[in-house]
Every structure is written in structure tokens, then in C-alpha cells.
Amino acid sequence: MDMLILLGSFFVLMAIGVPIAYSLGLAALAGAVYIDIPLDAVMIQIASGVNKFSLLAIPFFVLAGAIMAEGGMSRRLVAFASVLVGFIRGGLSLVNILASTFFGGISGSSVADTASIGSVLIPEMEKKGYPRPFATAVTVSGSIQAILIPPSHNMVIYSLAAGGTVSVASLFMAGIVPGVLTGLVLAALCLWTAHREGYPKGDVIPLKQALKICADALWGLMTMVIILGGILSGVFTANESAAMAVVWAFFVTMVIYRDYAWRDLPKLMHRTVKTVTIVMILIGFAAAFGYIMTLMQIPMKVTAFFVGFSDNKFVILGMINVMLLVLGCLMDMSPLILITTPILLPVVKMLGVDPVHFGMIMMVNLGIGLITPPVGTVLFVGSAVSKLSMGVVTQAMKPFFVALFVVLLMVTYLPQLSLWLPRTLGL
């Protein structure tokens, strides 16, 4: 009955339109009243939930990504990707995927990736003879890489939801191979589609111009080097590398590129603060929700259910994948990480699944949820940028969903894809 009170009130509140963060908080209060826990304990959990030093990485990474996204970085990355793969048949679709790979390593946000890369490449691809739905589908699906390739702030949230037992550095390194794999699988699909449909080849960019484009893009790409190099060398912690990324992004945008007006900085800061505030409110209320779940022994009950159903690790991981895919269609990624990690992590730990590996399984699963109707945030953004209905974009997304499901199965059942790099680096 206690589980019904907590989870039932949460879903009822969401169904009547209460924002997810407040639904979590109110459901936690309802659960506390039912099991006769002082409400002061809930308030303490909310405060302690956001009083974590590791959370400082989130506002820094969000700000660095926002500065680079609005400072002309996306246009330069598209030009750089065009130098590398634009001359191949269907090259512009490969440019789209590769630009998302680079931009994901700077912004860490699928929404920013889709908005920035899409605004540049969707009109350009249509002008060159690609159907607009296909161009949108490439942009939207390619943005999944931003969740896997560091600096993904969703990995910081997963580390927090796992109780701080999984280091952000190990998660960052674990995401590189699955992120690159995602890009390669999507690129293979784009190449196959281009040859089947006869999409055009791009022009070969003259050497002098190509060198200039590469030099121009190198300043922004150094952000990735600062983040990863600083963490791997031990010079920076994850928080410090995020802060250095902000300093570098500001320097490149305002001093080197100079595509962004100083007078617009206050507006950018305001948008960043709003985004971070929403995330922090969500984290605080989710901490209280998780606290009540623990008191109600919900994680233990869920573990007993899965173990009672099957003792086969692969079967249970398949069931968890299906559950996360369904939930991803109904809720946004961050709250799902905060809600489901404390419930599912004990289950997979008992099966011998590494928490870092499970983090990558969650990232891919819930990343697919971001581009899946009816509430896929990135799908909404892609539809808005392309001025197409969600139904048209979803129809064009079908082969890309298949490709991403292949990636999900590989990441789920080949743990070395996630664990090889962090273990090699001793993380």
C-alpha cells in the first residue's frame, strides 16, 4: 500500500499537469505523511540533495555549452566536418552526424545539439536535394551522441543518483566508445540510404580553404581537450575542468571568434541560470522522493520481483531495457535517472553488472526516449527547427530507431564497450 501511495500520487499529479519536479516533492510529502515520518526530515533531504560539491559541474558545463552554442561554434564545426566527409555521396548527412559528435563533446546537451546543428544543416541539406524529414531525422538521432560523449551533465546526475559511488571521470571515459559507436552506426545507415536514394555528393574543398576552416574550428575543439585532458592527467577534477571549459569557451567566443555581442551576455546568463535552477529543484525533490522510497523498501521489493521472475542476467537486463524505453517515452531524461537509478541499481549490482556499465545502458535507453513521441524533448526541438509535424519526423525516424536499438543491444550485452577505456586508464 505504501508503494501505491508514493508512486500513485506521483503519477496522478503528473497526469493532471503538475510539473515533474513538484510532483516528486508532493508525492514525497504524501508518502512521508502515510508512513508517519516528520515533514522536517523531507525538507532536510531536499536541502542535502542539492548540497553536493559534485553538482557544481552541472552549471559550469551548461554555461560552457551555451556560450559555444551561441558563439558561432556550430557553424564552424559543420564547416570542419564538411572538410572531412562532405565530398562523399550523402556527405552532408555524414557532416551532420560528425558535427553532432564534435558539438556533443562541447555542449553535453542533445537539445543544444539539435537546435544549433539543425538550424545550420537542415536548410542546407534540403537545398542540396535531401528530403527535409530525412535531414531532420539525421539531426535528431545524431544528437544522442551528446548524452554519451563527455561532458554529458546527465552522467553527473547519474553519479549523484548512484549515491556518489560512481565517479564522474569513469562515466565520462565509459561514454566515449558507445558515443563513437552510435555515430558510426548512424553514419553507416546514412551511407546506405544515400546510395539507395541517390543523394548527391558534396564538393571537395580546396586545400587552402580547408586549412583555414580547420584552424578556425580548432579553437573550439580545444574545449574537449581541456575537459578530457585535464581529468585524465589529474590536473583537474571534473568540477575544475568544467570551470576551465567556461573560461576557455568565453575566451574563444568573445576574443577569438567575436561572433557574440557583449550586450547579449546577460540574456545568456539568465537563460543558463533558469536551466540550472530547474535542474537543481528537480534534484532536491528527487532526493526526498528517493529517501521515502528507501524507507518504504521499494528498491528491495523491485529487486525481489526481478529475481523472482528470472535469475538470468541477460533476461533481466532485457526487461529493464523495455521498461526504460517505455518510461522514456513518457518522461524526460533527468527525472527518470533520479527516480529509477536508486531502484534499479541494487538489482543489477546483485546480478554482477558494473554500475558504470549500467550507467551507459541508462544513457542510451533514455537518450532514445528523448527522440521518441509523445514527449521526446529533442524530437520537439527538431520538429520546431525544421517546421515539420512530429508525425512526419517520427515516420522518417523509423530506420534510425532500428539503428539506435542495435547500439542499445550492443552496449547492454557487450560490457567491454563501456568498461574497456575506464579500466585501461585505471579509473
Kindly state the percentage of the chain with pLDDT values over 70: 100
Q: CA–CA separation, 348 vs 337, rounded Å?
A: 15
CA distance 336 to 182: 22
Residue 289 is placed in which grid cell?
522522493
Q: What is the pLDDT of residue 202?
A: 74
The amino acid that residue 120 corresponds to is: V
CA distance 101 to 410: 19
% of the chain beyond a pLDDT of 90: 23
Position 412 pLDDT exceeds 80: yes
pLDDT of residue 5: 85
CA distances from 372 to 265, 338, 367 (A): 33, 20, 9
- Which of 142-146, 199-203, 352-356, 421-425 has the lowest average pLDDT? 199-203
The mean predicted confidence, pLDDT, of the chain is 86
Q: Are 88 and 188 in contact (CB under 8 A)?
A: no
pLDDT reading at 72 higher than 80? no
Comparing CA positions, the residue from 407, 411, 333 lying closest to residue 372 is 333
pLDDT per residue over 99-114, tens digit each?
Answer: 888 888 777 788 888 8
**The three cell numbers locating residue 15:** 497526469
pLDDT at 116: 81
Least reliable range by pLDDT among 219-228, 318-327, 345-354:
219-228
Which is higher by pLDDT, 71 or 161?
161
Strand partners, 130: none
* Secondary structure class of 201 (helix, strand, coil): strand
> Is the confidence at residue 71, as pLDDT, over 80?
no
Calculate the alpha carbon distances from 19 to 14, 134, 154, 174, 257 in Å. Answer: 7, 33, 19, 32, 39
Rounded to the nearest 5°, which phi and psi values hold at 285? Answer: -70, -35
Helices (H) and strands (E) in the chain, counts: 21, 0
pLDDT of residue 208: 85
Q: What is the reported pLDDT for 165?
A: 83
Using the 8-state DSSP alphabet, how is residue 89 labeled?
Answer: B
* Cell numbers standing for residue 89: 555521396
- Between 73 and 321, the more confident residue is 321
List the domain range (segments joined by +) for residue 45: 2-424
- Are 297 and 33 contacting, i.e. CB atoms less than 8 angstroms apart? no
User: CA-CA distance, 108 to 111, in Å (whole number)?
Assistant: 9
Return the higher-pLDDT residue of 52 and 166.
Answer: 166
pLDDT tens-digit series, residues 246-270: 888 888 888 888 877 888 888 888 8
Q: What pLDDT, in 10s, does the model give residues 113-130?
A: 888 888 888 888 888 888
More confidently predicted of 238 and 38:
38
Q: Write the pLDDT tens digit of every residue in 209-235.
A: 888 888 888 888 888 788 877 777 777
Instruction: Check pLDDT > 80 for residue 2.
Output: no
Q: Which three cell numbers stand for residue 22?
A: 513538484
How many Cα neighbours within 13 Å face the side chain of 106?
35
For residues 97 and 143, the answer to whether their CB atoms sit within 8 Å is no
pLDDT reported for residue 215: 87
Instruction: Choose between 186 and 77: higher pLDDT.
Output: 186
Give the single-character DSSP code of 102: H
Per-residue pLDDT at 252? 86
Amino acid (one-letter) located at 114: T
- List beta partners, residue 89: 201
What is the pLDDT at residue 171?
Answer: 92
DSSP 277: H
364-409 tens-digit pLDDT: 999 998 898 877 888 888 888 888 888 899 999 999 999 999 999 9
Q: Which residue is listed with cell 568544467?
A: 242
Residue whose C-alpha cell reads 541517390 in the numeric block: 198
Residue of 49, 54, 53 lying closest to 287 (CA atoms): 49
- Look at residue 141 in the predicted model and tell me its pLDDT: 94
Residue 397: all three cell numbers together:
525516424
pLDDT at 204: 79
Alpha helices (H) along 1-109: 2-15, 20-34, 39-50, 57-70, 73-85, 91-107
Q: Cell numbers 555549452 correspond to what residue?
A: 65
- Model confidence over 302-322: pLDDT tens digits? 777 777 777 788 899 999 999
Which pLDDT score, from 0 to 100, does residue 180 have?
A: 93
- Average of per-residue pLDDT across 169-198: 92
113 in Cβ contact with 78 (< 8 Å) = no
What does the alpha-carbon distance between residue 110 and residue 140 come to, in Å, rounded to a whole number? Answer: 8
427: pLDDT confidence band, cut at 50, 70 and 90?
confident
CA angle 235, 180, 396 (to 5 degrees): 140
Domain count, the chain: 1
